[in-house]
Amino acid sequence: MWYLMATLNEKLFRDVLSLPVDLRTKLVDKLLESLNVPLKGEIEHAWAEEAEKRLADITSGKVSPIPGDEVLKKIRDRFQK
């Protein structure tokens, strides 16, 4: 039984990989959708919203930005202990 499943899986993989790129892309989207994984567009939209929120927080003075080199130094110092 195990051998039969492995053989069927290999055939399925070969068949899927032989599909044109646009169909494989649609298949990937459908598979990810079935796993309830956010799609690329949803992720990009969420990051855009987060960036806008952070910019508004900086512009309003709610938060103060910290220079990247300062943050990296603090991280290095923290983990070198």
Q: Determine the pLDDT at residue 59.
A: 96
Q: Alpha helix (H) ranges present in the chain?
A: 2-17, 21-34, 40-60, 68-79
- Residue pair 74/81 in contact (Cβ under 8 Å)? The answer is no
- Residue pair 21/29 in contact (Cβ under 8 Å)? The answer is no
User: From CA 25, how far away is CA 19, in angstroms rounded?
Assistant: 10
The predicted model gives 58-66 an average pLDDT of 95
User: From CA 69, how far away is CA 81, in angstroms rounded?
Assistant: 19
Q: Where are the beta strands (DSSP E) in the chain?
A: none
Q: How confident is the model at residue 24 (pLDDT cuts 50, 70, 90)?
A: very high
Cα first-last separation, the chain:
55
- Residue pair 54/47 in contact (Cβ under 8 Å)? The answer is no
Q: How confident is the model at residue 57 (pLDDT cuts 50, 70, 90)?
A: very high
